[in-house]
Amino acid sequence: MKVVLQRVREAAVAVDGQEIGRIGKGFLLLVGVSNEDNEQIADRMMDKICKLRIFEDENGKTNLSLADVGGEVLVISQFTLYADCRKGNRPSFTNAGQPDMANALYEYMVKGFEERVPVVQHGSFGADMKVSLLNDGPFTVVLDSRELFG
Q: Which residues are catalytic?
A: 78-80
Residue 5 neighbours by CB under 8 Å, 6+ apart? 27, 28, 29, 49, 52, 140, 141, 142, 143
CA 135-107-22 angle, to 5 degrees, is 35
Tell me if 131 sits within 8 A of 8, measured CB to CB.
no
- The size of the chain, in residues, is 150
Tell me if 108 sits within 8 A of 39, measured CB to CB.
yes
Distances (CA, A) of 92 to 3, 4, 81, 111: 19, 19, 11, 30
